[in-house]
Amino acid sequence: MEKTLVIIKPGAIKRGLVGEVIHRFERKGLQLCGIKMLQLTDEILAEHYAHLVQKPFFKRIKDSMMITPVIVCCWKGLDAVHIVHEMAGKTNGREAALGTIRGDFSVSSQENIVHTSDSVENANEELARFFTDAEIFEFDQVGLSGLYANDEI
């Protein structure tokens, strides 16, 4: 099963949406395998958003991501990267479909509640950036047989 990263951003923390975000992924049937709160630094943001460092809006991203600590989560499930990314919705909350996390809780391209990995490769890199192996846990998920067909797991 795949694992993927979700960062619950400062805007969600300030608005008291942490439980709602986690609840949505749990209701979908994904398994929470790691979670912690941390304060992002210039260094980690430059690494995480390396593809955006030279963009004129990078300072806005950095400033926004450092307003409060963030919560980083590792979620696991079949096709978890795709599922989580789709559940988040389009980056710009004004364009995100209703029913998605951003579509329901965001009206901004920056203050858009969550960051999600967009590929399996990026998920692996991002999880390694924010978690040690000892911080990601493997355990049996109750009700797994009710989530997947016998030949899927």
Set 23, 48, 51, 115: catalytic member: 115
One-letter amino acid identity for 54? Q
Query: Would you call 135 exposed, middle or buried from its count of C-beta atoms within 10 A (0-12, 13-18, 19+)?
Result: middle
Taking CA atoms, 93 is separated from 9, 23, 48, 88, in Å, by 14, 19, 21, 9
CB 35 within 8 A of CB 74: yes
Q: Any catalytic annotation for residue 115?
A: yes
Taking CA atoms, 35 is separated from 7, 18, 31, in Å, by 10, 12, 11
Which residues are 6's β-sheet partners?
73, 116
**So which residues are the catalytic ones?**
115
